């Protein structure tokens, strides 16, 4: 499999603050890649380097096999971009902006544009200053999704969209994947990433802390287990990999490392399990675990 985006050891400083500090990111062709991190982690800076708007201080970045700083003309023909905070020209209508950006990119599909306008329920005749934040976001989304490109770079594209429109957005992204397009989806909305992404990179303070499929990432985290047993639960606290154990009469709750799950189940079985609930780690917990470790 070839890579659409290959970034390694990226460094970018603004004065004394280091926005990126050795960031790595690999996005395979044809996948939807989640780019996760809290505000200020360096997501937008990375994207701006990929778009040739900023120059990295150190490290390498390859985009669709080219150099994002030098090959602007050829690379940008093959990608579409949706910024996180869309600002429109106050006196241009949404339809004008969609057509303009599409044409600058080398043409857009009028049928798909009409379809997208309908699906996103967007009035293209309103002027930029009259749109709400969500509607401005829709203008940028329609402009990007209506063009024939290989790569979509989306920077927190659903901020300001209502839940209904978020659903439409997810359908659109799934269709894009079926059509073989690559998507880099920067987000801090975990449910969205969980629903859409094949692989995820989590960044913190300008560096990648975790990357892989959701499955493999879950492997690194703990499962919550709640059990009701017949005999008094003893000896569970000595098991390796069991954390936050609480025993309340016949009720046991704990968190267990995924690798130690087998040991816990074996220890519970002789006690006579009457009820057992196990919750796989959500991305949220995964995320929090990485960010909590910052504060000692």
Of the candidates 2, 41, 38, the one whose C-alpha atom is nearest the C-alpha of residue 19 is 41
Residues whose CB falls within 8 Å of the CB of residue 136, separated by 6 or more in sequence, listed in order: 86, 87, 88, 128, 160
Among 5, 79, 161, 217, binds other proteins (CB under 8 A): 79
**Of the residues 62, 112, 119, 126, which one makes contact with other proteins according to CB under 8 A:** 126
57 φ, ψ to 5°? Answer: -75, -35
Residue from 263, 180, 164 nearest 223 by CA = 263
d(CA 59, CA 81): 23
Q: How far is the CB of 94 from other proteins (least distance, A)?
A: 8
Query: From the CB of 197, what's the least distance to other proteins, in Å?
Result: 22
Q: Distance (Å, rounded) from C-alpha 157 to C-alpha 171?
A: 14
Give the span between the Cα atoms of 8 and 25, in whole angstroms: 6
Q: Is 96 one of the binding residues for other proteins (CB under 8 A)?
A: yes
Q: Other C-beta atoms within 10 Å of 6: how many?
A: 17
Rounded CA gap, 222 and 201, in Å? 19
131 binds other proteins (CB under 8 A): no
73 binds other proteins (CB under 8 A): yes
Question: Which run of H or of E encompasses 62?
Answer: strand 58-63
Span from 69-77, 209-217, 226-234, 255-263 in contact with other proteins (CB under 8 A): 69-77
Q: How far is the CB of 12 from other proteins (least distance, A)?
A: 9
Site for other proteins in 242-261 (CB under 8 A): none
Check residue 118 for interaction with other proteins (CB under 8 A).
no
Q: Is 90 in the site for other proteins (CB under 8 A)?
A: yes
**What SS3 class is residue 237?**
helix
* Stretch in the footprint of other proteins (CB under 8 A) among 21-29, 102-110, 225-233, 242-250: 102-110
By CB under 8 A, the residues from 147 to 186 that bind other proteins are 153
Helical H runs in 85-207?
A: 94-104, 110-119, 133-145, 163-178, 190-196
Q: Which is nearer to other proteins, 122 or 264 (CB)?
A: 122
Stretch that binds other proteins, among 1-9, 90-98, 197-205, 281-289 (CB under 8 A): 90-98
Q: Is 127 in the site for other proteins (CB under 8 A)?
A: yes
Number of residues this chain uses to bind other proteins (CB under 8 A): 42
Q: Give the interface with other proteins as residue ranges (CB under 8 A).
A: 48, 51-55, 72-74, 76-77, 79-81, 83, 85-93, 95-96, 99-101, 103-106, 124-127, 129-130, 140, 143, 153
């Amino acid at each position: 499999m070839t890579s659409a985006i290959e970034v390694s050891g990226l460094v970018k400083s603004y004065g004394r603050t280091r926005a990126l500090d050795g960031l790595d990111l690999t996005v395979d062709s044809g996948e939807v890649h989640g780019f996760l991190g809290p505000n200020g982690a360096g997501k937008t800076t990375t994207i701006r380097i990929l778009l040739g708007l900023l120059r990295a201080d150190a490290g390498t970045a390859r985009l669709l096999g080219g150099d994002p700083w030098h090959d602007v003309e050829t690379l940008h023909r093959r990608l579409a971009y949706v910024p996180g905070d869309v600002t429109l020209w106050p006196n241009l209508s949404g339809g004008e902006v969609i057509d303009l950006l599409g044409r600058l990119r080398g043409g857009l599909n009028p049928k798909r544009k009409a379809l997208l306008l309908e699906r996103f329920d967007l009035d293209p005749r309103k002027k930029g200053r009259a749109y709400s934040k969500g509607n401005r976001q829709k203008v940028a989304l329609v402009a990007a999704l209506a063009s024939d490109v290989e790569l979509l770079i989306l920077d927190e594209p659903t901020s300001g969209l209502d839940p209904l429109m978020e659903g439409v957005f997810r359908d659109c992204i799934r269709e894009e994947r079926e059509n073989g397009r690559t998507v880099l989806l920067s987000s801090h909305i975990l449910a969205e990433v969980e629903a859409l992404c094949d692989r995820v990179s989590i960044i913190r303070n300008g560096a990648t802390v975790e990357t892989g499929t959701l499955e493999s990432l879950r492997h690194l985290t703990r499962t919550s287990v709640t059990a009701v047993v017949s005999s008094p639960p003893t000896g569970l606290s000595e098991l390796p990999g069991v954390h936050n154990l609480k025993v309340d009469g016949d009720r046991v709750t704990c968190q267990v490392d995924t690798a130690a799950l087998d040991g816990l189940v074996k220890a519970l079985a002789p006690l006579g399990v009457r009820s057992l609930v196990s919750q796989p780690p959500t991305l949220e917990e995964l995320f929090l675990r990485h960010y909590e470790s910052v504060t000692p």
